[in-house]
Amino acid sequence: MTVLSLSKALNEGMRKAMEDDPKVLIMGEDVGKLGGVFRVTDGLQKDFGEDRVIDTPLAESGIIGTAIGLALRGYRPVCEIQFDGFVFPAADQIITQLAKMPMRSLGAIKLPVVVRIPCGGGIGAVEHHSESPEAYFTHTAGLRVVACSNPADAYTMIQQAIRTDDPVVFFEPKRRYWEKADLDTSSTDWWAPLHAARVVRPGTDVTLLAYGPMVKTCLEAATAAEDDGRSLEVVDLRSLNPLDEAVVMESARRTGRVVVVHEAPVNNGFGAELAARITEQCFYHLESPVLRVGGFSTPYPPSKLEEHYLPDLDRVLDAVDRTFGF
C-alpha cells in the first residue's frame, strides 16, 4: 500500500499510462518544468522528455485544437486546462470539433483526448479560478464527462480515461488535491469501471447524490445526520456522462428521498437532469420531490463570500430536513 494525495495519485496514474503506451502525451500550460500550477504533472517531463510532456503556448483553443491533430495522427493527448474558468477559449474546439468529429467521420476517426480540468472553489482564489462548468460539457453529445472525488478514483479513473477511445472531460476537485489515502497500486482487482457510480456510504432514509468535491461534504453530512438518527446514503456518481442510472435509481427507490448536491449553480445545473430522470423513473417510490443544493444563480462570488455560496454540511442537512416536510 502507498499513501498518495489526490494530486499525486493523478500524477502516478498518468505516469503509469505513459509507461504503458508511448503514444500518451501530456500537454498544457506550465505542465513541464513547473509540473503544473498544482504540481499534478510534477516530474513527468523530466522522465519522459519535452516531446511527450509539452509546455504549450498560452492559448487554450490551441491546446485542444492541436491535441485533436495529434490524436488524428495516433497519439493520446492528455490536456491540462489550468483552471476551470479558463476552459472557455477552448470551448469551441471541444464542442464543435472534439465532440463531433468521430460522428462526422462515420466512425473512421477516434479521438482519445482527455481534457483535465481542476474545478470548484474553496481555496480562496481570485475570479475565474473556482468554477464548476460541468453542465456545459454534459450537455454536449460526443463527450464523456467524469469527476473523481478521492485519491483512489483519481489514480484509476485517469488511467481509464486515457485508455478510452472517446474524448473525456475529466474534472478534478482542486480543493481535495491534498487529501490522502492508502492505495494498492500493484493490482487492478479493486478497480471499478470508469462509468460506474458507487455507494460510498450506505443508508436507508435519504439518498445524497454528489460528485467531485461535494462527495466529502456529503459524507460529513451523513456522519452528522447519524447523530440525529437519520441514515443517509451517499452515492458518488463518478461519471456524469454516461450516468450510471442503475445505481442512482436503485438507491432512490430504496430511500424514497433524494438530495442532489453540487457546487455549480442549481439553475439548469446537472442536478436538474438527475431530478428529472429520477422523477421519470422512480415517481411512485418517491416520498418527496428531488431537492437540489448548489451554487446560486450568480457569478462565483469573491472568495470572502465563497463559504456562503458553496454547499456545506448545514445546507445539505437543511435540504435533508426539507425532504421530510412533504
Q: Which residues are catalytic, by number?
A: 129
x/- binding map, residues 153-192, to another protein, per CB under 8 A?
Answer: -----------xxx--------------------------
Q: In the complex, what is the shortest distance from the CB of residue 274 to another protein, in angstroms, rounded to a whole number?
A: 13
Q: For helices 245-255 and 270-282, what crossing angle results, to 10°? A: 60
Of residues 190, 94, 104, 96, the one with CA closest to residue 150: 190
Q: Count CA atoms within 13 Å of residue 325 on its CB side.
A: 8
Per CB under 8 A, the list member of 5, 16, 30, 97 interacting with another protein is: 97
Cell of 288: 418527496
Per CB under 8 A, the list member of 21, 42, 102, 139 interacting with another protein is: 102
Q: Are the C-beta atoms of residues 222 and 201 closer than 8 Å to each other?
A: yes
**What CA–CA distance (Å, rounded) separates 9 from 3?**
9
Q: In the complex, what is the shortest distance from the CB of residue 200 to another protein, in angstroms, rounded to a whole number?
A: 21
Cα-Cα-Cα-Cα dihedral of 301, 303, 309, 310, to 10°?
130
- Could you say whether residue 321 binds another protein (CB under 8 A)? no
The values of phi and psi at residue 44, to 5°, are: -70, -40
> Which residue, 36 or 77, is less far from another protein as judged by CB?
77
- Could you say whether residue 62 binds another protein (CB under 8 A)? yes
Per CB under 8 A, the list member of 34, 126, 141, 305 interacting with another protein is: 141
Q: Are the C-beta atoms of residues 291 and 201 closer than 8 Å to each other?
A: no
Q: Are the C-beta atoms of residues 116 and 6 closer than 8 Å to each other?
A: no
- Could you say whether residue 70 binds another protein (CB under 8 A)? yes
Per CB under 8 A, the list member of 21, 37, 89, 136 interacting with another protein is: 89
Per CB under 8 A, the list member of 142, 212, 294, 311 interacting with another protein is: 142
- Could you say whether residue 61 binds another protein (CB under 8 A)? yes
> Which residue, 242 or 299, is less far from another protein as judged by CB?
242
- Could you say whether residue 74 binds another protein (CB under 8 A)? yes
